[in-house]
């Protein structure tokens, strides 16, 4: 069964350092997303990406965040200068169809710990 894969599974970094989280969406999917989940809290939307550009972003997704699809298969989330409050599980997700019935498939997440 096709799946969304994410690396690394866990990253520990110092405050102020840059972090890149990587995702390989399902191959025939066209819409890509990043969500995050602070421990014990709800899953929050960060950004959606389609046709090599951001479709929508939340207020969480400030100038410290960027996304890129550098090579047609990987989808990356970069946090330029990490803060303590960026510690969370980051989930990549992808969807084939734009329609409302298109299922969103999530990866297993990358846990980011900022010290």
Residues in contact with other proteins by the rule CB under 8 A: 4, 31, 33, 35, 41-45, 48-50, 55-56, 58, 91, 93, 95, 98-109
C-beta atoms surrounding 84 within 10 Å: 9
- Nearest distance from residue 69's CB to other proteins, in Å? 14
* Measured distance CA(95)–CA(15) in Å, rounded: 33
Contacts with 89 (C-beta within 8 Å, 6 or more apart), sequence order: 36, 37, 38, 39, 109, 110, 111, 112
Q: Name the residue nearer to other proteins (CB basis): 48 or 82.
A: 48
- Nearest distance from residue 81's CB to other proteins, in Å? 25
> φ, ψ for residue 84 (rounded to 5)?
-55, -40
- Nearest distance from residue 39's CB to other proteins, in Å? 11
Q: Name the residue nearer to other proteins (CB basis): 44 or 76.
A: 44
């Amino acid at each position: 069964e096709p799946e969304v894969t994410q690396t690394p599974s866990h990253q520990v970094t110092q405050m102020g350092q840059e972090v890149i989280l990587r995702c390989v969406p399902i191959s025939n999917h066209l819409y890509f997303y990043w969500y995050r989940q602070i421990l014990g809290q709800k899953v929050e939307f960060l950004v959606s990406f389609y046709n090599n550009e951001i479709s929508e972003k939340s207020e969480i997704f400030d100038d410290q965040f960027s996304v890129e699809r550098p090579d047609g298969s990987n989808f990356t989330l970069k946090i330029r200068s990490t803060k303590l409050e960026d510690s969370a599980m980051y989930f990549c997700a992808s969807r084939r169809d734009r329609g409302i019935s298109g299922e969103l498939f999530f990866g297993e997440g990358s846990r980011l710990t900022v010290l």
